[in-house]
Structure 1
Amino acid sequence: MNPRTTGTIAVFGATGQQGGAVVDALLDHKARVRALVRDPRSDRAQALAARGVELAAVRADDPASVATALAAVEGFSFMTPEANSLQEVEAEIRIGTTLIDAAVEAGVPHVVFNSVFGADRERGVPHHDSKHSIEEYLRKSGLRASMVRATAFMENFASVLAPSLEHGEIVLRLPLPEDVALKMISVRDVGRVAAALLLDTAEAPGGVIELVGDELTGPQIAAAFGARAGLPARYEALPLSVLPSDLDKVMFQEFAKAAEYPSDPAVVRSIEPATLDLAEWIRATNWTAPADVAVS
């Protein structure tokens, strides 16, 4: 990918997971990156500086500081903290609108917002509703804008959704019916797609791209991990009642509903041909089976 945008790209959220992936992808293409951070002295900010990233101190409640940090940039990538309650929804929307207002004041040529799959439909899920509001505000701002809507992260299978090894068998348990396909994307590819848009080597159709790298049912996901481990695998669909909070229950209900909406991974691959499917992500992350719980 040869960048057509050669000026500085600003990234808000650069010390986080998604923003960090955007920075990684931009640096891979030798782009000049300015990270908008709360504390330039933090370890994560200093790690970015060590890689050649320019640091700009901003306050999310101070539009002037953000507008100053966005001066003369050619692109701006931002994501907002995930809202888990009504109060956090309101706070997330305030941050989003502040960033958009600052981009308008600075005359940023192109803004890319890391949103979430389904944000075009208000659905009663806090972090969907907040991003829906931010998307709408961005559309009305007059800025050239692109929305990248992420689905479930494959990285969850390395942590909260990790399969187990039980009596020599890979076991995956999710509160998702076994005939429902989960839409997934790797965080790495969220960054790569956003970078392609920011560098003007690709465009999002209609200003929106829904990020789906793979779409598999629970049994298919389990089989992918079993194939990697060279072991038999099985899937167990759990009831929503096992989840610790109402928010978690609503989120998994949304994962199930998302399967009803069509998606086309080919659109993502037209922008980033090396987009990982789940089997490729498993290999790329060098996933290995955990210790067998049957072994004392």
Structure 2
Amino acid sequence: MSSSDAVLVIGATGNQGGATARQLLARGRRVHALVRDPGSPAARGLRDGGAVLVQGDLDDAESLRKAMNGVRAVFSVQALAYEPRTLAAEVRQGKTVADIAKESGVAHLVYSSVGGAERDTGIDHFESKAEIERHILALGMPATILRPVFFMNNLLHYADARDERVLSLPVRPDKPMQFIAADDIGVFAADAFDDPERSIGRQIELAATSSPSPRSPGSTSASPAPRPGSSRSRSKSACSSGSPKPDTRPTSRPCAAAPRPADLRAVPHPATRLGPPLTTPEAASAPAG
């Protein structure tokens, strides 16, 4: 086991990994960023921010071994997958990261899964993450599992929309929709690394709050979530008179100037829930809260 305090961030040029790397760097932590192309704009931005770039690939086990040499902790996230080939790759990569972290004596693995992974939903990209969770449990290594819900960042695909747009989602009209901003996932990941004694052995489900994000993985609070009246959420651009810029990163706090659309209303729900300790495979499949 290394005495270094460096954290290897996998997926460092993506939403969650990038947010985690920025948070750790802002807190003065040493960050090693796993990247496939050190010359990419995203990778150069990380380097300019103080990260050490480590070239590697999740399908190259030897590159992962080299990347984990001398680091104390690892943040693991894999690309979202939907079809059989990429789902199989996600599971293979997630398990490989965990295996090599265990082999390398990594002191703390933080894995980003998905809210509801433990509920046996039958949803392919939930079940792939549940399989990785079970593998981490079976290894018995010191780990924290984060379970974020739907990303606010997904809505940035429509950031250049003018006037009013209607976004249809496959959500039951009587169910609230939970959101989280990728930047806030980075906050919770960094908190987990900052306080391993409290976070190791926990599964933490993450959703947005109406106030500044809790700074502790153990916090719970009630928060508003949009409740579509007809499985569709209507909203004009908030926070400014024009459309938000495509590179704007949302946070899990509504802008003070944002009007609340008439057909959305706040519904309290647990924002962060602590699951049972990571002790048995049954713990990963137990319903949360």
TM-score, scaled to structure 1: 0.70
Amino acid at match of 2:151: F
More helix by share: 1
Describe the SS at the equivalent of 1:111.
Answer: strand
Structure 1 residue 153: Cα displacement: 1.3
Amino acid at match of 1:12: I
The alignment's C-alpha RMSD in Å is 3.2
Structure 1 residue 33: Cα displacement: 0.3
Identity of aligned residues (%): 34
Amino acid at match of 1:209: I
Alignment of 1:1-296 (within 5 A): 7-160=5-158, 165-166=163-164, 173-200=168-195, 203-204=198-199, 206-214=201-209, 215-218=225-228, 222=234, 228=257, 233-234=262-263, 264-265=270-271
> Per-residue displacement from partner, 1:177-233 (whole Å, max 9, x unpaired)?
433201111111101001110122773485100001143312597589779455864
Structure-1 separation of matches of 2:120 and 2:195: 30
Structure 1 residue 155: Cα displacement: 2.3
Amino acid at match of 2:174: D
Structure-2 separation of matches of 1:32 and 1:80: 22
Change in Cα spacing, 1:37 to 1:63, as seen in structure 2 (3 Å) is: same
Q: Is the 8 A contact 1:75 1:111 kept in 2?
A: yes
Structure 1 residue 157: Cα displacement: 3.3
Structure-2 separation of matches of 1:263 and 1:75: 32
Describe the SS at the equivalent of 2:63.
Answer: helix
- Range 18-27 or range 211-220, more displaced: 211-220
Structure-1 separation of matches of 2:205 and 2:125: 16
Q: Is the 8 A contact 2:68 2:101 kept in 1?
A: yes
Amino acid at match of 1:216: P
TM-score, scaled to structure 2: 0.71
Aligned length in residues? 236
Tell me, which stretches of 5 or more residues in structure 1 are unaligned? 236-258, 269-296
Change in Cα spacing, 1:229 to 1:141, as seen in structure 2 (3 Å) is: closer
Structure-1 separation of matches of 2:236 and 2:269: 21
Amino acid at match of 1:103: A
Structure-1 separation of matches of 2:95 and 2:75: 14
